[in-house]
Chains A and B, each alone.
Chain A
Amino acid sequence: MTRWIPVTMFLLSASPAFAAAGGQKAQASPVWREECSSCHVAYPPRLLPADSWRAVMAGLKTHFGTDASVDAKTASDIERFLVANAGMRPLRSMDGTPPLRITTTPWFLREHDEVPASTWKSAKVKSASNCTACHAGAEGDNFSDDSSGRSGGRR
């Protein structure tokens, strides 16, 4: 039995931040989906830890170069959903603050290490935040589908 522990640890480490509590996909909050998917895919809460989501929600007025502010009630509803379903593994940026970009997390970098720089820069992709350019099912929280033809996606 004990010989399985390292294997299990490895498998867990391949999943984003050990996934949310219970390993289930979050029961989507309508207000979260409505607000967060206006400008980008509504990124699944499990992809960042709770303190990252708190920092994101505290800075919506200057959200990656755009004003994404929402009213106080909406902000509090969204934050509650994000924190309740956040990834379990703590993450820190080099400067000790919670990372704000999913694309800088070790999990994201590992999962996409075979993607060449030219792909990220192509007109179709435009930005690493554009999940649907390669993961056609990303809007529905399905990252296993990969329209680029390679096997992969979320394992």
Chain B
Amino acid sequence: MKHPVPVVIAIVTLYMASVTSALAPRDFLSRFETAARASDPAFTPVAARGAVFFKARHGTDWSCSSCHTDNPAAVGRHAATGKVIQPLAPAARPDRLTDSAKVDKWFRRNCSDVLNRECTPREKADVVAWLLTIR
């Protein structure tokens, strides 16, 4: 046992990762980027494109901004009920983009409300890229 400390740290880190499976916002960017590349190997997320997508309407009465506002660092309000919605940007709300089940659930529901379909991996990657640029 020449280097017990690094070994112990490595084991503890692996153990923690397996127990909490905590994800970082960047992990979601990688995930959607990889998924998008399956159909377009040249795909690269573009934050500016994500911002346009977020603020635009896509054939329904609502855009993402309708509830989240144009500023993902700001507190939003549900367009129908008025309920307060905490900021989407991880810089403003650190638990955003850290839970796979929540990320999947809200993309599924909200894309259904805003686009009447699921969002593509490209669209998700662009939006996440934009959210990560918010400081």
Contact = CB atoms under 8 A, between A and B. Distances in A.
Interface of A: 38-41, 64-70, 125-127, 129-130, 132-133
Nearest to B81: A40
Contacts of B81: 39-40, 126-127, 129-130
B112 A67 contact: yes
Nearest to B109: A67
Contacts of A130: 81-83
B105 A65 contact: no
Contact of B109 (A64, A68, A132): A68
A107 B86 CA distance: 32
Nearest to A69: B109
A68 B109 CA distance: 6
B80 interface: yes
A67 B113 contact: yes
12 contacts: A65-B80, A65-B113, A66-B80, A66-B113, A67-B112, A68-B109, A126-B81, A127-B81, A129-B81, A130-B81, A130-B83, A132-B83
A40 B83 contact: yes
Max chain B C-beta neighbours (<10 A), residue from A41, A64, A70, A127? A127
Interface of B: 78, 80-83, 105, 108-110, 112-113
A126 to B, nearest CB: 4
Nearest to B110: A67
Interface of B, secondary structure class, is helix
Contacts of B80: 39, 64-66, 127, 129
A129 B80 CA distance: 9
Nearest to A130: B82
A39 to B, nearest CB: 5
Nearest to A132: B83
A66 B83 contact: no
Contacts of B112: 67
Contacts of B78: 39-40
Contact of A70 (B83, B105, B110, B113): B105
Nearest to A65: B80
B113 A39 contact: no
A99 B64 CA distance: 30
Contact of A66 (B82, B105, B109): B109
A69 B110 CA distance: 10
The 6 closest A-B pairs by CB, nearest first: A67-B112, A126-B82, A67-B109, A40-B81, A130-B82, A39-B78
